A and B are shown apart, each in its own frame.
Chain A
Amino acid sequence: MLSSIQSPRLLRLSTLHQIPLRCLQTSTTPVPTPSSPQPTSQILKIRKSLLSRETTAVEIAKTFLSRLRRTEPQLKSFLYVSPEDAVLKQAEEIDRKIRNNEELGPLAGVLAGVKDNICTSDMPSTAGSKILENYTPPYDATAVKKLRENGAIIVGKTNLDEFGMGSTTEASGYQVTANPWDLSRVPGGSSGGSAAAVSAQQCAVSLGTDTGGSVRQPASFCGVVGLKPTYGRVSRYGLVAYASSLDVIGCLGSSVADTGIVLQAVSGHDKFDATSSKQGIPNFASQFIPKDYLDSKPLKGLRVGVIRETLADGVDPDVISSLQHSVSHLEDLGCTISEVSFPSFSLGLPAYYILASSESSSNLARYDGVRFGNQVFADELSSLYGDSRAEGFGSEVKLRILMGTYALSAGYYDAYYKRAQQVRTLVQKSFRAALEENDVLISPAAPSVAYKIGEKKNDPLAMYAGDIMTVNVNLAGLPALVLPCGFVEEGSSVLPVGLQMIGAAFDEESLLKIGHIFEQTLQGYSFVPPLVGDDF
């Protein structure tokens, strides 16, 4: 499976250019809900209705909570939902502030879901693992603290693959989340709960984490916007570590603007995270110009590189069509499109799995039954460890711990870990070169649309291969934005396709600007799943 993806089948740029726009639209792109409005920012909508006193924070919270209650039995996106009175109490506090004309945070009254591997002091934080069942940390993650300081209301903890290890949420220690577009399909992962919750409007925005694509791939599968910031942009303090050198907290929303506003809130240097950056944070919101004010060629002169290797064998033809359609759309907006070749692209996947597994084998060693997990009685210390861990971890986690332990073992370190680090350097160099020639790079977010629950459960290599589009970005530490760009019809279902835009380090601003314009000018799509219906 891996090899089929690695063998490059070149899609010639000339072909790409020759396909006329109308041909793309008629032949390959189904339009499920014609003449729908453009995605609007939930955050700005909430803010506007609160400030105009059109409605109250309590009313907004009630609407979200009732939708959450209605959809949750089918979706199972949350591992923990905050008690209604706790949510309403926070909403009332915001309403009080409005009545008193007090200053409101940018996220006031915004219901946010938080992936369960991000620590919250008032809710359990299990990272989707049985080994942390009922564990409530004594502190809030920095990102959560900042969300709260900005006025957001944390509505609950979203489901994930155990410790973020997986691409479907099937590896959760508790439950499998369904895709709001087709309940028999996976929402993607590991931030599947966060993506499904935003897609079904169980919450307005959510935090996810992205180690190898865990924000972007579920965003693609669920038809929402997912933003993976530059490594170091958002503090990792309070993010339950999977692979420390790759882990990033990301934002999910139903519009580009929402992810930008959330990023604004959670970004910044943190003295509790030595790897967090002191880079200045631009005002992302200034990029979100309403559609009516845009020029006819608002992205004129923007250089966009299409990564050739992402349109190779193993990528769903419908996904390729959607990407080609996006390319045409970007051209219409004034972009200059060129093709970029990444000889090291296919090396990224094995390098990623070696590095991520190695780091995880170390990061997860602390769950040893002494303080976390169910302590199994044993005569010897080694059995206490072995038995407690055997009971507490799921099979995907065990698989990766074994792989990582092996890769770091004496005698194998040079062949695996060290070589993977060399690949990582190579990938970083390739990106740097490509981003000197181009302002952004684009690729599909995933080689396919959402697949059936259980389809790849017993074929981990097939599942890992699905990460081909995203892992290189983590190896290079770059920011990337995934936003819906089209649909694919699969039987009776219509499934969203995600477009990935990759930018230079700390240049989330460009991604948000381009993404916003792309989204606001993309005609004829509405990315609201049938599950949500008309009340949205």
Chain B
Amino acid sequence: MALTFFRGIKTCPLVHYPSAYFARKNGFFYCTTGSTETQFATQEKQQSGDSKVVPKTYRKSPDKLLKDYEAIIGIETHVQLNTSTKAFCGCPYSYGAQPNTSICPVCMGLPGALPVLNSKVVEYAVKLGLALNCKLSMDSKFDRKQYFYPDLPKAYQISQFDVPIAIGGYIDIDLPVEFGGGHRKFGITRVHMEEDAGKLLHTGTGNYSQVDLNRAGVPLLEIVSEPDMRTGIEAAEYAAELQRVVRYLGVSNGNMQEGSLRCDVNISIRPIGQQEFGTKVEIKNLNSFSSVSRAIDFEISRQVQLHSQGQADQIVQETRLWEEGAQKTITMRKKEGLSDYRYFPEPDIPGVTLSEEYVDGIRSSLPELPEIKRRRYENMGLSMQDVLFLANDINVAEFFDATIANAADVKLAANWIMGDIAAYMKNEKLSISEIKLTPLELGELIASIKGGTISGKIGKEILFELMAKGGTVQGLIKEKDLVQIVDRSEIEKMVDKVLADNPEQLKQYRGGKTKLQGYFAGQVMKASKGKANPKLLNQILLEKLNTET
């Protein structure tokens, strides 16, 4: 289904099409119209922010000031789908490939070439729509969004305008405990399918720019949130949850650094109690969740500062860039009214009609989603901290689920994974799927300790062996002769021997130096090569020490 076709045409555009670059004199072209805007969502509710509600409050501290305002935050997220071919042609896409090596007449926008929809894109869109609790449009269509920019070879982006594939959903979030915790539900305005644009390569010194069309035509899902978020951390968690959802669904790698998940934040502030929205500012260039959070916090204080100083009119509708180095937002471009994208229905692609059977098939194949997983873990009695840790990464969650599926103790399994295993992964810079330990063996290990076959200490030793080299718990126990000694008479023999070998210390003990109990215990444990059951050992040792013969 995904691989609709491969075109048999190989082109080397930089040779065949020498005009695939364009000259620039001033070193940098400003994009006059952004490619990632939507005319929906937060925008239509926004109004001019010139209100003079708040009197000058110079004396208030910044923190106190912030309490008088609330921020209205909405996010547009672009998720790049990991389909094996592009949205409308048979070209594969791999991040970081040589420029213009994965292109064909279709994604190059050559005259006469036509787009043919990759059905996998629809499948992924339906998956995400369902996962975000949206209502699906059983009859949707594609539209052309028209603007000129050199990275857009057709001068229009195939997108969805008035009938997006999914609308009106929501997403559940559990805020991290260290940020006060709490559950939130944020609205999803819409999810729609569209294609990505290419990339411009600006030469540092030269007076021209080059166009790389590898990314042109790669499928995207744009997810527009309701303006429901109020703080940077809420926004960051919204984005993180979206990342979790797309990773759980397997529709995208959700990698922010590679641009597989891109967030544009819309933010305005208003004095608490005011009904109208303030002037909206858009922030771009957010490459991590923490930059989402920090950029918003910066922007909130910037806007509150201006507003409280009677300079609300300086908050203008604009796009600002987050500068990671300086930790601040700067003006990228000011908006001159709304751009007119002259949307109209894409005549080259027939309408997309979903059947009930198709949707039901996808619905029944959905994996357990993060929110459901978290609730399940919570009901198992795990703390929210544990729940968030385990459910954060689909691979960790699957490892955990597989471990407890083997009847392992839930709390113990969580502790092992979050403790020694997580530490090892961090040190070795490995993911949970890269370590040699299998969930089955972790379950075995936990059972072996719980059942007393081995001690916790030995369990730890075995764990590292299992993570680094693999193998089975049983095998290692046998191989290293690590079975715990629980035979009373055997331990008694060892105790007797230690007491006999240390008459001087025994004398001292019995003379009142009871601290020496630890010494004896150590000696016995040493003699047992660490295998003696500590509880039994101490019990026998005490008995013998305190029984004068």
Task: List chain A positions with a Cβ less than 8 A from chain B.
Answer: 118-119, 125, 127, 132, 135, 137-139, 141, 236-241, 243-245, 271-275, 358-359, 361-362, 365-366, 368-372, 375, 377-382, 384-385, 405, 408-410, 413, 417
Contact = CB atoms under 8 A, between A and B. Distances in A.
Interface in B389-417: none
B211 interface: yes
A46 to B, nearest CB: 29
B9 A365 contact: no
A368 B148 contact: yes
26 contacts: A125-B111, A138-B11, A138-B105, A241-B348, A244-B347, A244-B348, A245-B347, A273-B114, A274-B348, A275-B350, A359-B347, A362-B156, A366-B154, A368-B155, A369-B22, A370-B19, A372-B19, A377-B23, A378-B23, A379-B26, A381-B29, A381-B149, A382-B148, A384-B22, A408-B146, A409-B342
B276 to A, nearest CB: 24
A381 B148 CA distance: 9
A16 to B, nearest CB: 38
B62 to A, nearest CB: 41
Nearest to A131: B111
A40 to B, nearest CB: 34
A132 B342 contact: no
A137 B110 contact: yes
B112 A241 contact: yes
B32 to A, nearest CB: 7
Interface in B127-166: 144, 146, 148-150, 153-156
Interface string B69-111: 0000000000000000000000000000000000001001111
Contact of B111 (A137, A379, A408, A413): A137
B211 A370 contact: yes
B285 interface: no
Contact of B114 (A272, A358, A382, A405): A272
A440 B32 CA distance: 52
Interface string B16-58: 1101101111100110100000000000000000000000000
Contact of A365 (B30, B110, B115, B148): B148
Contact of B344 (A274, A382, A413): A413
A138 B110 CA distance: 9
Given A362-B146, A408-B344, A409-B342, A138 B111 contact: no
Contact of B155 (A240, A244, A365): A365
A280 to B, nearest CB: 19
Contacts of B148: 365, 368, 381-382, 385
A272 B113 CA distance: 8
A366 B153 contact: yes
B114 A237 contact: yes
Nearest to A373: B19
B349 interface: yes
A297 B287 CA distance: 78
A271 B4 CA distance: 9
A244 B142 CA distance: 14
A138 B112 contact: no
A138 B155 contact: no
Contacts of B349: 274-275
Contacts of A382: 32, 148
Contacts of B5: 271-272
A375 B350 contact: no
B11 A239 contact: no
A371 B347 CA distance: 24
B527 interface: no
A239 B349 CA distance: 16
Q: Give the 9 A-B residue pairs with the shortest CB-CB distance, closest first.
A: A365-B155, A245-B347, A244-B347, A408-B342, A238-B112, A240-B111, A381-B29, A119-B112, A410-B340
Contacts of B150: 370, 381
Given A137-B105, A137-B111, A138-B11, A371 B340 contact: no
A239 B112 contact: yes
Interface residues of B, number: 47
B115 A274 contact: yes
A119 B338 CA distance: 38
A273 B116 contact: yes
A366 to B, nearest CB: 5
B304 interface: no
Contacts of A132: 111
Given A274-B117, A365-B156, A417-B344, A375 B22 contact: yes
Contacts of A405: 342
B153 A371 contact: yes
Nearest to B346: A244
B344 A362 contact: yes
Contacts of B153: 366, 371
Contacts of B23: 375, 377-378, 384
Given A244-B348, A381-B150, A417-B344, A274 B19 contact: no
Contacts of A413: 342, 344
Given A272-B114, A362-B156, 6 more contacts: A138-B9, A241-B111, A362-B144, A369-B22, A381-B32, A409-B340
Contacts of A275: 114, 347-350
Contacts of B211: 370-371
Nearest to B211: A370
Contacts of A271: 4-5, 116
Nearest to A132: B111
A451 to B, nearest CB: 31
A366 B347 contact: no
B19 A366 contact: no
A127 B111 contact: yes
A22 B338 CA distance: 68
Contacts of A273: 114, 116
Nearest to B13: A371
Contacts of B7: 272
Contact of A137 (B32, B112, B149): B112
Contacts of B30: 381
A460 to B, nearest CB: 23
A149 to B, nearest CB: 14
Contacts of A245: 347
Contact of A358 (B19, B116, B344): B344
A246 B285 CA distance: 42
Nearest to A372: B19
Contacts of A381: 24, 29-30, 32, 148-150
B89 to A, nearest CB: 9
Contact of A379 (B4, B19, B25, B105): B25
Nearest to B4: A271
A348 B78 CA distance: 41
Given A240-B112, A370-B150, A274 B350 contact: yes
Contacts of B155: 362, 365-366, 368
A120 to B, nearest CB: 10
Of B7, B112, B116, B156, chain A has the most CB atoms within 10 Å of the CB of B112
A379 B26 CA distance: 7
A202 B4 CA distance: 41
B30 to A, nearest CB: 8
Interface in B347-378: 347-350
B102 to A, nearest CB: 15
A504 to B, nearest CB: 21
Contacts of A408: 146, 342-344
B19 A375 contact: yes
A131 B512 CA distance: 106
B38 to A, nearest CB: 15
A147 to B, nearest CB: 15
Contact of A371 (B11, B20, B343, B344): B20
A351 B272 CA distance: 52
B144 A274 contact: no
Contacts of A243: 347
Of A238, A239, A417, chain B has the most CB atoms within 10 Å of the CB of A238
A141 B112 contact: yes
A365 B111 contact: no
Contacts of B22: 369-370, 375, 384
